[in-house]
Amino acid sequence: MKKAYLYFSIIFLLMLILTGCSINSAKGDDDIITLRWVTYDNGSIPLDAKEVIAKANKVSAEKIGVKVDLEFQPSEKINLMMASGEYYDMVFTSSWLNSFDKNAAAGCYLDITELVQRETPALYDTIGKYWDCAKLEDRIYGVPTLKDMGAEEMFRLNADYFEGQKGMTIPEEMTFDELEPFLETYKNDYPDKYPLAMDKSGVPGYLNCVERIVDGIIVIPYDCDDEAVKAIPFWECDELVNKYRTLHRWYSKGYIHPDAATIQSTAADISIPVRGGVAWRGYKGYSNPDQWGFNVKTSIYEGPYLSRSSEQGALFAICAACPEEKAVACLKYLELLNTDQKFRDILAYGIEGTHFEYLDNGTILRLPAGNDRYHTGLYQTGSAVSASVESVSRTILADPDQWKLVYEGYVEDGIYSRAGGFAYDPVNNEDIITAVRAVYSDYSTELCTGTSDPDKVIPEIKKRMEAAGIDELLDDINSQLQVWESQAK
C-alpha closest to that of 205 among 304, 118, 127: 304
Each residue of 49-58: pLDDT tens digit?
A: 999 999 999 9
Has residue 368 been placed in a domain? no
Has residue 39 been placed in a domain? yes
Handedness of CA 124, 67, 53, 60 (dihedral sign): positive
Same domain, 292 and 159: yes
Same domain, 320 and 440: no
Has residue 360 been placed in a domain? no
Has residue 370 been placed in a domain? no
Domains of the chain: total: 3
C-alpha closest to that of 386 among 350, 339, 349, 347: 339
Quote the domain boundaries for residue 14.
1-27
The pLDDT-based confidence of 141 (bands split at 50, 70, 90) is very high
- Residue 24 pLDDT: 36
C-alpha closest to that of 406 among 286, 282, 222: 282
Q: Mean pLDDT, to the nearest integer, of 94-112? A: 95
Has residue 53 been placed in a domain? yes
- Residue 281 pLDDT: 78
Which residues does residue 70 pair with via DSSP β-bridges, in sequence order?
37
Quick check: 11 pLDDT over 80?
A: no
Each residue of 143-168: pLDDT tens digit?
A: 999 999 988 999 999 999 999 999 99
- Residue 423 pLDDT: 86
Quick check: 217 pLDDT over 70?
A: yes
- Under a CB-based contact definition with an 8 Å cutoff, are residues 75 and 42 in contact? no
Q: Mean pLDDT, to the nearest integer, of 272-279? A: 94
- Residue 23 pLDDT: 31
The pLDDT-based confidence of 13 (bands split at 50, 70, 90) is very low
Each residue of 413-444: pLDDT tens digit?
A: 899 888 877 889 999 999 999 999 999 999 99
Share of the chain above pLDDT 70, in %: 93
The pLDDT-based confidence of 119 (bands split at 50, 70, 90) is very high
Same domain, 299 and 317: no
Has residue 172 been placed in a domain? yes
Q: Mean pLDDT, to the nearest integer, of 315-332? A: 98
CB within 8 A of 417, min separation 6: which ones?
A: 211, 220, 222, 305, 306, 307, 308
Same domain, 281 and 167: yes
- Under a CB-based contact definition with an 8 Å cutoff, are residues 420 and 308 in contact? yes
- Residue 489 pLDDT: 63
Q: What are phi and psi of 38, to 5 degrees?
A: -110, 125
- Residue 2 pLDDT: 37
Has residue 448 been placed in a domain? yes
Has residue 454 been placed in a domain? yes
Same domain, 104 and 208: no
The pLDDT-based confidence of 6 (bands split at 50, 70, 90) is very low
Same domain, 20 and 41: no
The pLDDT-based confidence of 216 (bands split at 50, 70, 90) is very high
Same domain, 117 and 204: no
Same domain, 426 and 449: yes
Quick check: 402 pLDDT over 80?
A: yes
Same domain, 191 and 318: no
C-alpha closest to that of 477 among 437, 419, 434: 419
Quick check: 226 pLDDT over 70?
A: no
Quick check: 289 pLDDT over 80?
A: no
**What's the pTM?**
0.79
Average pLDDT, the chain: 91
Same domain, 248 and 318: no
**Which CATH number goes with the domain that contains 78?**
3.40.190.10
Quick check: 485 pLDDT over 90?
A: no
Distances 334 to 101, 145, 323, 383, 451 between C-alpha atoms, Å: 20, 10, 17, 9, 44
Share of the chain above pLDDT 90, in %: 80
Each residue of 27-57: pLDDT tens digit?
A: 357 799 999 999 999 989 999 999 999 999 9
Same domain, 48 and 182: no
The pLDDT-based confidence of 291 (bands split at 50, 70, 90) is confident
Task: For helices 2-18 and 20-28, give the axis angle rounded to 10 degrees.
Answer: 70
Q: Mean pLDDT, to the nearest integer, of 313-322? A: 97
Same domain, 41 and 180: no
Q: What is the number of other CB atoms lying within 10 angstroms of the CB of residue 443?
A: 17
- Residue 17 pLDDT: 38
